[in-house]
Copies of this chain bind each other. A is one copy, B any other.
């Protein structure tokens, strides 16, 4: 049922200082149906220049910016703030390797429509762009009829975090495990401790911790010094 999307493609400006990464992102954009690359900028200044050219009609319009947060001459957040101050309402998808909640809050307050953490694969990237395309199509019309339609537009921007987890694991339990590891005072837990904390069996706790270790979220470490076999502790990083 993914309709072939006959309307004009969404024109994307890629802003990213690293040339190889910029090319990769541009290639990703081109691969997603309904999008086309409008340009690539490697600095904040270059991005602003391209946007001004576009807005003043010298180059075709730009609908969306794929904006790296860390730029040589500014940050994506500051760049975005100055856009808003100029009354430019262009939509922005933030791309960053920084894992700081303050950046997320700033991004939200500046009207960023999607937030992508580097590194990401094409599937994660395409999911964000497709969600934006749904939103873009919905608010294209001149009037909104009611609250439901507004809610539907907002809902289109939410992504389903469709990371497929291996057989035997549930999202619900995994979220609880991750929360427990994140909030543990020592930053590390054994399987038995986690089991007691979450009221799970040690077997189950171990299954999830092993999964987190395999995917690189936590790392294994021995805990020696006590009589008996040493415990394996799973340390967050």
In the complex, the count of this chain's copies comes to 2
Q: Nearest Cβ in chain B — how far from A84, in angstroms?
A: 5
At the interface, yes or no: A101 with Cβ under 8 Å from chain B? yes
Is the pair B120, A147 in contact by a Cβ cutoff of 8 Å? yes
For A22, the chain B residues whose CB sits under 8 A away are: none
Given contacts A91-B109, A109-B91, A111-B109, contact A101 B139 (CB under 8 A): yes
Q: Is there contact, CB below 8 Å, between B89 and A85?
A: no
Q: A144 on the interface (CB 8 Å rule)?
A: yes
Say yes or no for A90: interface residue by CB 8 A criterion: yes
Listed residue (A114, A145, A147, A200) with the most chain B CB atoms within 10 angstroms of its CB: A147
A84 touches B99 (CB 8 A): no
Is A143 in the interface zone, CB < 8 Å from B? yes
Question: Which of the candidate stretches A24-32, A67-75, A151-159 sits at the interface with the other chain?
Answer: A151-159
**Chain B contacts for A150, CB-based, 8 A:** 104, 115, 117
Query: Which one, A4-12, A39-47, A217-225, is touching chain B?
Result: A217-225
Pick the contact of A84: B109, B120, B176, B230 (CB < 8 A): B109
A-B CB contact pairs (8 Å), 7 listed: A81-B84, A91-B108, A100-B142, A108-B139, A109-B111, A114-B154, A154-B160
